[in-house]
Amino acid sequence: MKTRILFLTAIITFHYSIAQKKADTVVIKVGDASKVIFAIHDKKDLETLKHYNFQSLMDDMIQKLDKRDSSQLEKPASAYLKDTVPASESAPTVTENRVDEKSESEDKESYSSYQTYKRKWHRRKTFSTFSMDLGTNNYLENGKFPDQNNSLYSVRPWGSWYVALNSIQRTRLANKFFLEWGGGFSWYNFKFQNDRVQMTKNDSEVNFALDTRDVSYDKSKLTVAYVQASLVPVIDFGGGGRKPGFFNGRSSSGFRFGAGPYVGYRIDSYTKQKFEQNGDTKKEHRHDSYYINNLRYGLRVQLGFKGADFFFNYDMNELFAENKGPKLNAFSFGVSF
């Protein structure tokens, strides 16, 4: 009896000492900040490791990590074995072929499932890019240009520059259907036809008149700055995930077009007059609201090919507040790159 007890005690001690041995580890780095660790306590487990379907195991692990699920895998470890025949045992040739064919079929199915999951994840990804609009701006009064009535607030197409700096996000919604959304800053520059035009305001409205000072005028303009946001659905026959553009070094051979709304909030407005007096060049800036509407909203249309887009913006609300100035709807067009 004592002999049996001593024998059992020795066996338990032996297994306990084996369990306490430091495991052999293999560390596989994944990216810059992640790693996978294999800890092997018994070298006999290496034989079992040879029969694991690691593709299926990785598929399940990636899906759980993508869901931020840190619990154990639901499948038992045996579910990931490709076969149950040890490499050292011999079996009929026909059986080996069937097992190999089954394992190969499972591997292909798992790989196909992983590739489908990866493509879906990639298609839904959002890319960010910097975009710049550069063009000209003007406005319409009752559907006509003000210079047709020889109005003092008529502007010059050349020199009335529109500039916008935007951070645009591009999200794929379908195969060739994207949503381009983002925000930034934009500037209207209305350069008056007559360099002597002076823009002022009183308690009830804004006025345009000719400056009577005895100086040589070179420029007179109104500048309005906005912070803005846009939401433009786009069909891109090129199908690229990133928005083509000059600053990101990407282009597309496919044609693309889109249309959507935008909204802006006025953050500054001022007039600028440049003239020469007694041989000296002078510039006068007058910052004021000039009864300009704080909100600006409208529709944007864009057509693109390769690395550039042509855009057209039309403000659906008037530039000045109601009954405070002429009824003008501003618009701009040019190139976005």
- 3-state SS string for 100-154: HHHHHHHHHHHHHHHHHHHHHHHHCCEEEEEEEEEEEEEEEECCECHHHHCCCCC
Whole-number pLDDT of residue 32: 67
| pLDDT-derived band at 170, boundaries 50, 70, 90 | very high
Check residues 113 and 27 and name the one with the higher pLDDT.
27
Share of the chain above pLDDT 70, in %: 66
- Domain boundaries in the chain? 39-123, 125-336
Average pLDDT over residues 293-316: 95
CA distance 110 to 253: 35
> Under 8 Å CB-to-CB from 87, ≥6 apart: which residues?
47, 50
At residue 334 the predicted structure's pLDDT band, cuts being 50, 70 and 90, is very high
Residue 64: strand, helix, or coil: helix
Is it the case that residue 319 has pLDDT exceeding 80?
yes
> Three-state SS across 275-305?
EEECCEEEEEEEECCCCECCEEEEEEEEEEE
- Tokens 């040589």 identify what position? 216
The residue among 81 and 205 whose pLDDT is bigger is 205
Contact assessment for residue 75 and residue 129, using Cβ atoms and an 8 Å cutoff: no
Predicted TM-score of the model (pTM)? 0.63
Between 258 and 15, name the one with better pLDDT.
Answer: 258
pLDDT tens readout for residues 200-219: 999 999 999 999 999 999 99
In CATH terms, is domain 125-336 a member of 2.40.160?
Answer: yes
